[in-house]
Structure 1
Amino acid sequence: MTVGFVSPPPTETPSRAGRTLEPAEWAAAGIPLLRSPRELVAGLHTRHRPGPATSVVAVLDPDERIIASASFSRANSTPDGWECRNVLLSQLRRIVPHDLRRRRPSRTAVLLCCRGDGPGWRDEDGAWMWGLRDACILHGLRCGAYITLTRDGWQVLGEDRGGRRPYVGGPAAWDTRPDGVPGDGVPEEGGRGDRARKPSGARRDTTAR
């Protein structure tokens, strides 16, 4: 008689489940609201022009100006929050010194995750949210917004704010008129094509000021 053997569940399952955040947990975490999320997304999109499976971590000053930012590729599989924390902490250490000696954080880290599917929350978002929050604690920063960028546009998860431009695979974010109407660099009837010009100071690589 053959006796079947049922392998026990992986010992890492409980810990992996604990290293993620649900949408309700993130919404209740007291993440500071961005004053101008579209301007931030447009700036990061112009600097890095990220494609699917790419993320951009940025550090903002108290006035929400981008101090430094870095882009990196993500693995296709759903990550563990601990792995996300390590990746983000490595990037933060590379672009800005820590603020652990401060009594209160004065700078904020935000994360822009790009993907090829539609909007909405995914399991991987929960892991990256957990990783962002933990990396900020270890680097002396305030945990800021988690933003997704898809082919449908951008969305600040945990908030009811988003837009259609910029989007993954789209033109440079500065190819948009100041009133938010897409320009794509094509002059309107009657001229004013100069309103869609890209600012000369826009940069795509990792920046630190």
Structure 2
Amino acid sequence: MTFGFAPPASTSLATPGKGVSRHGRLLEPAEWTSAGIPLLTNPREVVSGLHSRHTPVPGVAMIAVLGPEDRLVASASFTHRSGSADGWDYRNALLARLRRVLPHDLRRRSPVRTAVLLYCRDGDEQWTEEDGAWMWGLRDACTLHGLRCGAYITLTRDGWQVLGEGRGGRHPDSHSPPVRLGDIVTDPVPLTLRTGGGATETLRRTVAR
């Protein structure tokens, strides 16, 4: 019995091939998009909540487990230094943190909780091989912990974006000061939708509590 998204054969080997670079195991944006990652109901609230709890700086990863209606169940933050973008290393780091904050769900017939990863890094919002390694690591860690693989979100100087969804916003960003949880804005706020042609549209979304 397997849970989450089982890694395709092409990503299970350390040799170059589809989904694997010479630097290690990683997922390309097209592979991530086609994996059927569940959409977050309110990504801004998830990002703002994790930013307030963990006050990240570039190089910090935040793993969060969400229950029904995207309610936060558990979260952890850590700094992971790796010499190469190898999803194997990232998977082990994520799995270690998950085991510390949450019992596994491997006895369930199907996953009921979802893991989301927010990574604060330098650079712009463009996909990098490091992002691909985090994606591979998140998917594999979820499988081994009995969780559903959820969104991968980057937090850069330009703001945040949910990779593969085209949703993002300018605040918070990688250098934003922490905001108390009670001060998170709950009024309608703009979300940025990036279309396939590179155009940018602004949507009005209401932040749900």
Q: TM-score, normalised by structure 2?
A: 0.77
The alpha carbon displacement at 1:176 in A equals 5.5
- Residue number in structure 1 paired with 2:9: none
One-letter amino acid matched to 1:164: R
Q: Does the CA contact (< 8 Å) of 1:60 and 1:66 recur in 2?
A: yes
One-letter amino acid matched to 2:144: L
- Residue number in structure 1 paired with 2:163: 157
The alpha carbon displacement at 1:77 in A equals 3.7
The alpha carbon displacement at 1:79 in A equals 2.5
* Partner-residue secondary structure (3-state), 2:172: coil
**Which of 21, 46, 57 is the matching residue for 2:52?**
46
- Residue number in structure 1 paired with 2:123: 117
Q: Aligned runs of 1:87-106 on 2, under 5 Å?
A: 87-106=93-112
Task: Say what the alpha-carbon RMSD is for the aligned residues.
Answer: 2.1
- Taking the aligned partners of 1:65 and 1:176, their CA distance within structure 2 comes to 16
**Which of 134, 140, 163 is the matching residue for 1:134?**
140
Q: Does the CA contact (< 8 Å) of 2:41 and 2:69 recur in 1?
A: no
Q: TM-score, normalised by structure 1?
A: 0.77
Q: Aligned runs of 1:11-30 on 2, under 5 Å?
A: 13-14=15-16, 17=21, 19-30=25-36
Name the structure where strand makes up a greater proportion of residues. Answer: 2
Q: Aligned runs of 1:166-205 on 2, under 5 Å?
A: 166-173=172-179, 177-179=185-187
**Which of 43, 56, 68 is the matching residue for 1:37?**
43
* Partner-residue secondary structure (3-state), 1:72: strand
* Partner-residue secondary structure (3-state), 2:49: helix
- 5+ long unaligned stretches in structure 1: 1-10, 183-209
Which deviations, in whole Å up to 9, do the C-alpha atoms of 1:57-85 show, x marking residues without a partner? 00000221111100010216433111111
The alpha carbon displacement at 1:98 in A equals 0.2
The alpha carbon displacement at 1:12 in A equals 5.3
- Taking the aligned partners of 2:91 and 2:115, their CA distance within structure 1 comes to 13
Q: Which structure has the larger Rg over C-alpha atoms? A: 1
One-letter amino acid matched to 2:174: V
The alpha carbon displacement at 1:178 in A equals 2.9
The alpha carbon displacement at 1:116 in A equals 2.0
One-letter amino acid matched to 1:99: D
* Partner-residue secondary structure (3-state), 2:176: coil
- Taking the aligned partners of 2:14 and 2:36, their CA distance within structure 1 comes to 29
Q: Does the CA contact (< 8 Å) of 2:14 and 2:25 recur in 1?
A: no
The count of corresponding residues between Structure 1 and Structure 2 is 172
* Partner-residue secondary structure (3-state), 2:100: helix
- Residue number in structure 1 paired with 2:65: 59
* Partner-residue secondary structure (3-state), 1:121: coil
* Partner-residue secondary structure (3-state), 1:158: coil
- Taking the aligned partners of 1:154 and 1:173, their CA distance within structure 2 comes to 16
- 5+ long unaligned stretches in structure 2: 1-12, 191-209
- Taking the aligned partners of 1:30 and 1:12, their CA distance within structure 2 comes to 24
Which deviations, in whole Å up to 9, do the C-alpha atoms of 1:15-63 show, x marking residues without a partner? 8636210000000000000000000000000000000011000000022
Identity %: 63
- Taking the aligned partners of 1:161 and 1:25, their CA distance within structure 2 comes to 18
